[in-house]
Structure 1
Amino acid sequence: MTQMMGGVLSLFSGAGGLDVGLEAAGFNTLACVEMDETARNTLTVNRPEWMAVEYTDVLEAAKKLRPSELGLRRRQLELIAGGPPCQPFSKAAQWMSTARRGMEDDRAIPLHGMLELVDRFLPKAILIENVVGYIQGPGNARPVLEAGLAAINRANGTKYRVDVAVLNAADFGVPQNRDRAIIVARRDGVPFEFPEPTHRTNPITAWDALHDLSDVEWAPKHGAWTELLSCIPEGSNYQYLTARGGGPEIFGWRTRFWSFLLKLARDRPSWTLPASPGPNTGPFHWNNRPLTVAERMRLQSFPDDWKLRGTPRAQVRMSGNATPPALAEVIGRALVAQMRLGTPLSRRALLASPPRLVQKRATSWVAPRAPGSLPNHFEKLVGEKAAHPGAGLGPMSHTVQLT
């Protein structure tokens, strides 16, 4: 274990992705605050020492938690880190009847609790990871965050300033294209320099991540759309089965979500893993089946010994919501370097070694298989279909029924 560079108060900890990455960068998570019981059980099983406080709600912790409970004085904590609830800011929220409400959504209130804890602890830095909509677009959280930090600065003589970037996890060695908003605010007001991409031109692929995991048996239900996976090439989706694809025309062009029957490509990173996929929502494995939890964890860059608790559905949700640990490690290493945390010797030793959580590249390769033929009972659906009418006209309901 790397010599600890500083203590972290983890908020909205979830399955621990942010904390696993910061741990690999030399940080010591002193306590986690997490509402979800299954996620808390996951953290307890993997790192019982992280569950050092009884508070599960950030708003409750904001009222009661004191630095002394973590053996600290005010200003001694190195980092407050977390990913506040993202649902109000996500792209998926745009498809809901209420659309994206941002800071007007009750689920955004915990950010205020986070700001209260910043005021209480005055850490050397703050780290927030979230969806891109958290800092961009209607109702985004950035004005609230900046106003809150400005009030803290006026009251305490600190110099917190917000630095933001949108980073694709695949550019830093995560085998998954996943755009994330990263927010850093240093107490001394020094701008944070975001790390430069290391894998943009030569990313870690889905094959690198999954090639050595055992395959599983899975058969789609007769007549279900997932039966069509075997007819779709790797790296493609339902659009292969449209007038503009290479297969028989079953669907109208762009009349479904992009992730509908979406398959992994062995030679590319995965697409973003959803937290609550429907029965036809990809990415699916190139062997024409849903991804296992172990495969999802690999694509998120978790170490193999990190175990999730709860039902299979809960594990899918936690793995999809998690911060990719390898991305968190890269950000943590940048914080260590720029804030000169730890001793000079321990800092040099950490930064001289490569990131620990980046997946090694595969040394073997199996070529993709050609798509198979259309199952006979889908033949009656083949024929000309209307395409989506165009941008700005909204989602359409071109639904093909199997009878």
Structure 2
Amino acid sequence: MGRLRSVDVCSGAGGLALGLERAGFDPVLLLDKKFVACETLRYNRPTWNVLEMDLEVFDPVEHQESYDVDLLSAGLPRVTSSATANRVETGNELRLLEATVLLAHAVRPRALLIENVPGLVDGPEFAEVRDFIRKELEHLGYRFHWFVLNAADFGVPQDRKQGVLVAMKDRFFDAFSQPTPTVSHHITAGEALHVSMSQRGWTGADAWAAQADHVAPTLVGGSDNRGGADLGPTGTKRAWARMGINGGALSDEVPGPNGIQESDTSGSSLKKLTVPQTAILQSFPDDWTFAGGKTKQYRQIGHASPPPVGEALGRAIAAALDA
């Protein structure tokens, strides 16, 4: 089977699109409303057709390259529970989810892939959303699977559970199988970051890596409207602390020979991660460059779908389309 064609919306830093590219999908259009995300995509893939636009105002009639594609994919901003239903962001997230499903009416892809929070798969708080999706997809002649994947099962050194929807035209549906784990050993944070922690000669790097003997907690990019670059809520920071990491902020450099990070003025003995180290934890390739300052770079990384998960999903979808 030759290369397949896709449209990717809410593309962010390109983690999902990069994984799908490895699986044989070439995007004819990538869409994101954030300038910095579009700059990241254009820098790393100058040949990609990147459109800076809000999905809710996107009109495929004006971009007819989006028609007749094999896959419509979306790594959407995380929808949140009913506990945060009054937040402005929550309404935006749900509208983007609905807009993606409605876009399938116009694009009519052979397959649809949406990646989001695990609760979207079976959480009672999302029952109304799932019912909307079911009605729309059945009307268009799609059948679909809901399932949860953990990125750690695909070689990502992070406990990152992702809710996934794969919908396919009826003639392809029975050939689709949910991706199975690609690794038998979960890569720990210590294993993933040992080389970078050692690059300035830190004498404690071996001991740190031995202590960080679990996969990393889920990276959380945070809201554009609140706070700076940290590694997540209080519970997540405690998990990081048990690995010898200060989750309250990021550093500009890895530890020096005596363990000092010059940009860290916290007085804590815990080490801070750098932006490139968070990209390692998301399994981005070393040569993938992120636009913007430190906080904007980290938020792109934290919000991304790890490329190995996108690749596994892409291979499973491509196999069904080729069956």
Unpaired runs of 5+ in structure 2?
223-229, 246-269
- Tell me how far apart the structure 2 counterparts of residues 114 and 309 of structure 1 sit (CA, whole Å): 26
Return the match for 1:211 from 194, 203, 211: 194
- What SS is found at the alignment partner of 2:292? coil
Q: Please report how far the alpha carbon of residue 106 of structure 1 lies from its aligned counterpart in structure 2 after TM superposition.
A: 3.8
Q: Please report how far the alpha carbon of residue 212 of structure 1 lies from its aligned counterpart in structure 2 after TM superposition.
A: 1.8
TM-score normalised by the chain length of structure 2:
0.76
Return the match for 2:57 from 60, 65, 80: 60
The aligned counterpart of 1:168 is: 150
**270-279 or 322-331: which moved more?**
270-279
The aligned counterpart of 1:84 is: 76
- Tell me how far apart the structure 1 counterparts of residues 39 and 214 of structure 2 sit (CA, whole Å): 34
**Percent identity between the two aligned chains:** 32
The aligned counterpart of 2:13 is: 15
Superposed CA deviations along residues 299-328 of structure 1, whole A, max 9, x for unmatched, are: 111111111111111111111110010111
Tell me, yes or no, if the aligned pair for 1:83 and 1:130 is still in contact at 8 Å.
yes
- Tell me how far apart the structure 1 counterparts of residues 2 and 300 of structure 2 sit (CA, whole Å): 27
Q: Please report how far the alpha carbon of residue 340 of structure 1 lies from its aligned counterpart in structure 2 after TM superposition.
A: 1.2
Return the match for 2:3 from 2, 5, 8: 5
**202-211 or 172-181: which moved more?**
202-211
Q: Please report how far the alpha carbon of residue 135 of structure 1 lies from its aligned counterpart in structure 2 after TM superposition.
A: 2.5
Tell me, yes or no, if the aligned pair for 1:79 and 1:127 is still in contact at 8 Å.
yes
Taking a change above 3 Å as real, the CA distance of residues 97 and 110 of structure 1, as seen in their structure-2 partners, is closer
Tell me, yes or no, if the aligned pair for 2:190 and 2:208 is still in contact at 8 Å.
no
Taking a change above 3 Å as real, the CA distance of residues 4 and 67 of structure 1, as seen in their structure-2 partners, is farther
Q: Please report how far the alpha carbon of residue 17 of structure 1 lies from its aligned counterpart in structure 2 after TM superposition.
A: 0.5
1:25 matched to 2:23: yes
1:153-302 correspondence runs (5 A): 153=140, 159-188=141-170, 190-191=173-174, 192-199=176-183, 201-215=184-198, 265-276=211-222, 277=230, 281=237, 283=240, 286=244, 288-302=270-284
Instruction: From the CA coordinates, give the structure whose radius of gyration is larger.
Output: 1
Taking a change above 3 Å as real, the CA distance of residues 265 and 22 of structure 1, as seen in their structure-2 partners, is farther
Tell me, yes or no, if the aligned pair for 1:165 and 1:183 is still in contact at 8 Å.
yes
* 2:77 maps to amino acid: P
1:313-332 correspondence runs (5 A): 313-332=295-314
Aligned residues: 278
Superposed CA deviations along residues 92-145 of structure 1, whole A, max 9, x for unmatched, are: x84x5848997xx24311223212321111111001111112223244132221
Tell me, yes or no, if the aligned pair for 2:42 and 2:50 is still in contact at 8 Å.
no
* 1:148 maps to amino acid: E
Taking a change above 3 Å as real, the CA distance of residues 163 and 66 of structure 1, as seen in their structure-2 partners, is same
* 1:126 maps to amino acid: L
- Tell me how far apart the structure 2 counterparts of residues 43 and 4 of structure 1 sit (CA, whole Å): 24
- Tell me how far apart the structure 2 counterparts of residues 314 and 27 of structure 1 sit (CA, whole Å): 27
- What SS is found at the alignment partner of 2:11? coil
Structure that is richer in helix per residue: 2
- What SS is found at the alignment partner of 2:142? coil
* 1:44 maps to amino acid: R
Q: Please report how far the alpha carbon of residue 148 of structure 1 lies from its aligned counterpart in structure 2 after TM superposition.
A: 1.4
The aligned counterpart of 2:319 is: 337
The aligned counterpart of 1:148 is: 136
- Tell me how far apart the structure 1 counterparts of residues 26 and 211 of structure 2 sit (CA, whole Å): 37
The aligned counterpart of 2:285 is: 303
- Tell me how far apart the structure 2 counterparts of residues 100 and 162 of structure 1 sit (CA, whole Å): 30
- Tell me how far apart the structure 2 counterparts of residues 265 and 48 of structure 1 sit (CA, whole Å): 41
TM-score normalised by the chain length of structure 1:
0.62
